[in-house]
């Protein structure tokens, strides 16, 4: 069950609304991702608190290209309104439209396999994958939790 195969976790097509976000973007060496995530989510949350802007989603990461030795991404939260830029924190957005979605259950080390499964499903449906890919961290990780209980929503835009 660590690869998103739990009941109710089959890929599906969904329509999503565009969303306003507050993010930090960077190109990060793969081995520094955990520190980047921890630092960035804390920074974005602090700026949103200072500006009295409601967070309307779990944390997410949006990828600008497939991960390689480094990862081009932005991380943050969907927000009630646009954030005023402060330091690295800026306003962003998540796209609306048709999205192929898969909920991965298990540790982050198996996310690549679930992304591969979602890509194969898109191909099998005769759909054209778009450029927008993002993960929503439905379950907030903590040091004492069992990684098998983590749930991550994988979203891949579909071209019309």
Distance CA 60, CA 76 (A): 6
The mean pLDDT of 19-40, rounded to a whole number, is 96
Of the options 3.20.80.10, 3.30.420.60, 3.40.50.2000, 1.10.10.10, the CATH number for the domain spanning 19-94 = 3.20.80.10
Mean pLDDT across the chain = 92
Q: Where are the alpha helices (DSSP H) in the chain?
A: 33-50, 111-124
Task: Please state the CATH superfamily assignment of the domain spanning residues 1-17+98-130+141-160 in this structure.
Answer: Regulatory factor, effector binding domain (3.20.80.10)
pLDDT at 145 over 90: no
Q: Where are the domains of the chain?
A: 1-17+98-130+141-160, 19-94
Please compute, for residue 88, the number of CA atoms within 13 A of its CA located in the half-sphere on the CB side: 17
Q: What is the pTM of this model?
A: 0.91
Read off the pLDDT of residues 46-76 as tens digits, 9 standing for 90 and up: 999 999 999 999 999 999 988 889 999 999 9
What are the helix and strand counts (H, E) for the chain? 2, 8
pLDDT at 149 over 70: yes
Structure tokens at 140: 């907030």
Structure tokens at 151: 């749930």
* pLDDT attached to residue 2: 35
* pLDDT attached to residue 75: 97
pLDDT at 160 over 50: yes
């Amino acid at each position: 069950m660590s690869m998103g195969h739990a009941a109710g976790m089959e890929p599906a097509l969904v329509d999503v609304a565009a969303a306003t976000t507050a993010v930090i973007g960077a190109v990060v060496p793969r081995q520094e991702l955990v520190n980047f995530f921890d630092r960035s989510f804390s920074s974005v949350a602090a700026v949103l608190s200072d500006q009295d802007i409601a967070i309307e989603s779990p944390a997410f990461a949006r990828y600008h290209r497939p991960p390689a030795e480094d990862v081009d991404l932005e991380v943050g939260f969907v927000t009630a309104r646009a954030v005023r830029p402060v330091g690295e924190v800026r306003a962003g957005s998540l796209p609306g439209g048709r999205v192929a979605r898969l909920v991965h259950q298990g540790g982050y080390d198996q996310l690549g396999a679930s992304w591969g499964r979602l890509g194969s499903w898109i191909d099998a449906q005769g759909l054209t994958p778009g450029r927008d890919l993002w993960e929503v961290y439905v379950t907030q990780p903590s040091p004492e939790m069992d990684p098998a209980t983590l749930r991550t929503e994988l979203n891949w835009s579909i071209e019309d």
